[in-house]
Structure 1
Amino acid sequence: MIKWAIALGEFDIFYHPKPVENGQAIADFIAEFTYPVDISLTPEAVASSSPEAQKVEPTLPVWTIYVDGSSNQQGCGAGLVLTTPDKVAMEYALRFKFKASNNEVEYEALLAGLRLAKHLGVKQINIFNDSQLVVNQVTNNFDAKDNSMAAYLAQTQLLLKHFHY
């Protein structure tokens, strides 16, 4: 490191370490986008709700969200990119401090993205997810047989009511 500092110093290039991120900003983000889950609603009740939210409205600006999650022995996390109609991309990386399956993490990523979009006042959104299970459960092609997946699906469908997607 010193050798590089000396070599670059000849050209008036100096290394300045990046300041530490404020931990309070992360805590505020988590507190703001964590909502209680109402598990009293059954997935069937949510699924049978009006499909009006799914209709595309050509007059509304379209936002785009890409979500992905991953879980392994070292932990689990997710990433999402929310793109405005003006093609401005907002990128987020999430690290979860709990054990979860890949499918659960995929749902967590989707829920985080939907909460963010709702908070920003998005009305119409295109959603991209590479999880076959999540996509097919949300589009009612697969049933959520596991209680955990049913709870994630119910929460997702409640949030999707706020959007044309």
Structure 2
Amino acid sequence: MRVLLYTDGGARGNPGPAATAFVLQTEDGTVLASRGETIGVATNNVAEYSALVSGLRCALELGAAEVEVRSDSELMVKQMRGEYRVKNKALQQFFLEASRLARQLPVVTYTHVRREHNELADRLLNDALDAA
């Protein structure tokens, strides 16, 4: 099964109260799973990676064969593609965990999208922050 994994993470203040969100859907738009949740105080980049890790775990649980990750975090996408090194110590742990999860899936690709192409994950993220 090929799925699209939309991820988003953000913090109000950087660092500040943070949340993550992901939406896992089929190519025809059927939502298979979605989640938005607060993660305490964190940076935007930590929140972005937390969302990726949660989404990849869910894709594994659902038995996805091919995952296209779509994120508005250019930094995370380029790091996961190997185009940028991960210098930040806090992000290295998340990068390693995301890489470990991705290796358990047959195919994982990463695509950078503009925020307006990531609406549902962005809404879940903001709903979680607003509720906190």
Q: Is residue 2:95 matched to residue 1:153?
A: yes
Runs of 5+ in structure 1 lacking a partner? 1-60
Query: Which residue number in structure 1 is paired with residue 34 of structure 2?
Result: 91
Q: Is residue 2:104 matched to residue 1:137?
A: no
The more displaced of 86-95 and 126-135 is 86-95
Aligned positions of 1:1-165 closer than 5 A: 61-73=1-13, 75-85=17-27, 87-89=29-31, 90-96=33-39, 98-163=40-105, 164-165=107-108
The more displaced of 119-128 and 106-115 is 119-128
Structure 1 residue ranges (4+ consecutive) displaced by more than 4 angstroms after TM superposition: none
Q: How many aligned residue pairs are there?
A: 104
Does the 8 A contact of 1:106 with 1:134 survive in 2?
yes
Larger radius of gyration: 1
Distance 2:54 2:60 in 1: 10
What is the root-mean-square deviation of aligned Cα atoms in Å? 1.5
Q: Secondary structure at the match of 2:82?
A: coil
Tell me by how many angstroms 1:85 deviates: 5.0
TM-score, structure 2 as length reference: 0.73
Tell me by how many angstroms 1:67 deviates: 0.4
Structure with larger RCO (C-alpha < 8 A, sep 6+): 2
Distance 2:76 2:18 in 1: 17
Does the 8 A contact of 1:123 with 1:162 survive in 2?
no
Larger strand fraction of residues: 2
